Structure 1
Amino acid sequence: MVVLVSGVLLEELPSSTSILFQAYPGIKTQANRLVESECQVVSTGSLLLVTQREFAVTSPHDSSVQVLGTDNIIHHVALIIRHVGSGVTLLAQVDRYTEEDLTCMLAKIMTLIEPGFDDRFEIQLVGGFSDSRLVSESIILNTLGVLVCSQERFELTGLCVGEAFTVFRGTMPFPALRGVAINVKTGIVFPASFSHRGPDMDLRLARTLTGGEGVGMLDIYSPEREELRIGPFSYLPMRSVDIWLGQSDDFILQSLTPCPEVVTDREGFVRQVRDTLRIVKSHPYPSVTLFQSNSPRSYRRDENSGEWILKYQNEWFRGSSGVKPEAFQFNFYVKQEHFNNSWQLGHAAYY
């Protein structure tokens, strides 16, 4: 393995992110600059947003996507891998990460790199504030561990995680940022918020809500076709969906995040949970009702409006996804004491 931090070989994974920052103070200084940067609002016309356990890869030559982004990285981590010579860029949101995931991502990156470039990669991690349960710390160290064990050459150019991703309001820690993005053409990473998050978000979140820890990373973009492609995937029917829909807003909030006090848009969080549960209820077998012929739901960018429009039977339809496009992304931390076997959600991840 070859992982360089500020030009120095990282020979072994430290036991905490604090030790890593102490050993390489320059990387924390750079993280502070990111946190202090002005948050930019990214419009739909140039954005491709990834959510929980999704990734996308594209190049500076893409005419449909200029910005890759992700949001609500309170406990999850935005992983950015950029090929130095070509500018080919990957953005993923991870809450669990394996060697197989990394191998799949690098293979996708290599398909876009023309011959003649060195295989040098820069990586950045953003997200995961210092919570009292150490949920974020576990995710961060797991992700770094996979990278350290890889046979590829990586230079860690950004590490805005843990204490560097935390601000205090009084004595209470909060995430420093809610979203992050990278300009594919320039390679600049910046704090971001998003006016639109893309199509089929409820369906995409249903995949992780119902699937538990067995749900892997999903590649959602074809740079060759410049198409956003969702699925195909399936999930088990959820017998407890009506029970969940009948719960109070406070119960849903307290049950599905380990740190409800840092959720700023509580109404939006609960609304998204309920919208996703309704998708699961309406489409218990998505391979039949949403992914006919085992085909993905494909979208391309409309040249005039900049919106993603759906392909159906070889025709393109604006605003006809069949699933609500608006979404407030959320993630799941299931507190086991609230459930019994008859209505437990899939333990998808940590918020």
Structure 2
Amino acid sequence: MIYVDGVPFQNENNSSSLSSSSKGSRLIHDVMNHPVIMLASDSFKNLEERNVNFEESHSESSKKDRYVYIFQRECATVKPSLVDFVGTDEATTCVGLVIRNRKSGMTSIAHMDSPKIVDMGISQMLSLVLEDDIDAELDVHMVGGYEDVDTKNANGGVYAKPEGHSFPLCCKLVETLQKRKENFHMKTLFILGHNTKLDAQANTCPIFNGCLVNTSTGSIFPASFNRTSRCPDEIVRRIRVSASFEDSSWEGKLLDTYETESDRFVIAPCCWTMRLIEIVWELNQLPDEDILTTCSTSPTAEGPDFIDNERRIWEYLLKYPDWNRTFPRRQPRFFERTANGNWKKWLIFSP
């Protein structure tokens, strides 16, 4: 059940004659246009984006903040006693979802990229956040997703079956939270129209692509991360996103990478096929402009390092086409936190 301003949210226009897709469209429209949500979106938009750079933040500071960063299709649940900040970025048509237990401060974050992973993904997030308290009060934030298509018709109504990627995902997220029995207090819904601007070429694009959460206070900020802070094991974790589509064991699930109790990353083994290597080789021959249109759901809205990130992934796969070189004996890759807040790999095996 969704709460707004402490009150259960009731969708007044949820007629039984409407199709399920129309109900979802009306629900998200009504929630996003609630005065409290609109005020929260305006406040979030006026916040300064925080640029997270490990090389700067961990160089001279006496207090070493502890971060957990997640990539697309990943989730992590953290304890405020072990982690100071948790975040994600690079979301265009994706959505960063944060669920935080008000009492314990346990905070779960996910980078949702498809409606197909929402149901099981939210269950994964809640498995640790609830701490066996089904009546826990949970604060919810969503950042990301934008109007990659027009979701309204000429008469101002909401499409029953909108195209694009952001709208179906955002609808599914809000619908799922409303249907569940837990208590979800909607605090930030910086998605779709709230998170849309025009670039110099008049293309719609997100205002913010990421967020950062202070686990102790629950405060959330718009954020971006540089390569030093998208860690640990950046390239391998990015590869797992692609490889997971060919692995039925991950179907409908978010990728777990972080162990809550031990505060360490455990990158479970994944395998990639020669078919993927062949596809990668072909993609790597494309010019930059074709990579955008081929590999992105939002070619006009990607960040400046999108193509470079894709090519680095492909170079790794072409260098190590045999996945056993990355995961010898099908063992996970372990990373423990160092005294300065960075991550160190257990050098049991290396490619």
TM-score by length of 2: 0.79
Q: How big is each residue's C-alpha offset from its partner over 1:269-310, in whole Å with a ceiling of 9 and x where there is no partner?
A: 112111112233333443x22223433211112214x32110
Cα contact 1:57–1:89 (8 A) shared by 2: yes
Question: Is 1:42 matched with 2:52?
Answer: yes
Q: Which residue of 2 aligns with 1:348?
A: none
* Contact in 2 for aligned 1:87/1:184 (Cα 8 Å): yes
283 and 11 in structure 1: CA distance in 2 versus 1, 3 angstrom threshold: farther
Which stretches in structure 1 are left out of the alignment for 5+ residues?
315-320, 323-351
Instruction: Tell me how far 1:231 sits from its aligned partner.
Output: 1.6
| Match in the other structure for 1:82 | 100
Of 310, 322, 341, the residue aligned with 2:345 is 310
> In the alignment, which residue of structure 2 is the partner of 1:232?
269
**2:43 corresponds to which residue?**
33
Partner SS, residue 129 of structure 1: coil
Structure 1 position 118, deviation (Å)? 5.0
How many positions carry a matched residue from both structures?
305
SS in 1 for 2:222: strand
Residue identity in the other structure for 2:88? T
Change over 3 Å in CA distance of 1:169–1:272 after alignment to 2 = closer
Q: Which residue of 2 aligns with 1:52?
A: 72
In structure 1, C-alpha distance between the alignment counterparts of 2:239 and 2:186, rounded to whole Å: 33
CA 1:193–1:4: 2 relative to 1, 3 Å: same
Aligned twin of 1:217: 254
| From 68, 74, 91, the counterpart of 1:73 | 91
Query: Equivalences for 1:83-102 in 2 at 5 Å?
Result: 83-96=101-114, 97-102=117-122
Aligned pairs for 1:25-174 (under 5 A) are: 25-44=35-54, 45=58, 46-62=66-82, 65-96=83-114, 97-110=117-130, 113=131, 119-132=136-149, 134-169=164-199, 171-174=202-205
Distance 1:136 1:117 in 2: 30
2:19 corresponds in structure 1 to none
Taking every aligned residue pair, what percent have the same amino acid on both sides?
Answer: 25
- 1:249 corresponds in structure 2 to 288
Using structure 1 for the length normalisation, give the TM-score: 0.79
**In 1: Cα distance, 2:188 partner to 2:308 partner:** 34
Matches within 5 A, 1:190-205: 190-195=221-226, 196=228, 197-205=230-238
Distance 1:211 1:236 in 2: 11
Match of 1:254, SS state, is helix
The one-letter amino acid of 2:39's match is T
The answer for the alignment partner of 1:177 in structure 2 is 208
d(CA) in 2 for partners of 1:285, 1:149: 44
Cα deviation for residue 3 of structure 1 reads: 1.5
- Equivalent pair of 2:257/2:267 in contact (CA under 8 Å): yes
CA shift for structure 1 position 11? 4.2
Q: Give the RMSD, CA atoms, in angstroms.
A: 2.4
- Listed as ranges, the matches of 1:244-323 within 5 Å are 244-265=283-304, 268-286=305-323, 288-304=324-340, 306-313=341-348
Unaligned runs of 5+ residues in structure 2 are: 12-22, 59-65, 150-162
1:190 corresponds to which letter in structure 2?
Answer: F
| 2:2 aligned partner | 3
SS in 1 for 2:245: helix
Which residue matches 1:340?
none
Higher strand residue share: 1
CA separation of 1:29 and 1:210: change in aligned 2, threshold 3 A: same
Give CA deviations for 1:201-223 in whole Å, capped at 9, x if unaligned. 22212122244386531121112
Whether the 8 Å CA contact 2:269–2:327 is kept in 1: the answer is yes
Of stretches 8-17 and 195-204 in structure 1, the one that deviates more from structure 2 is: 8-17
Letter paired with 2:112:
V
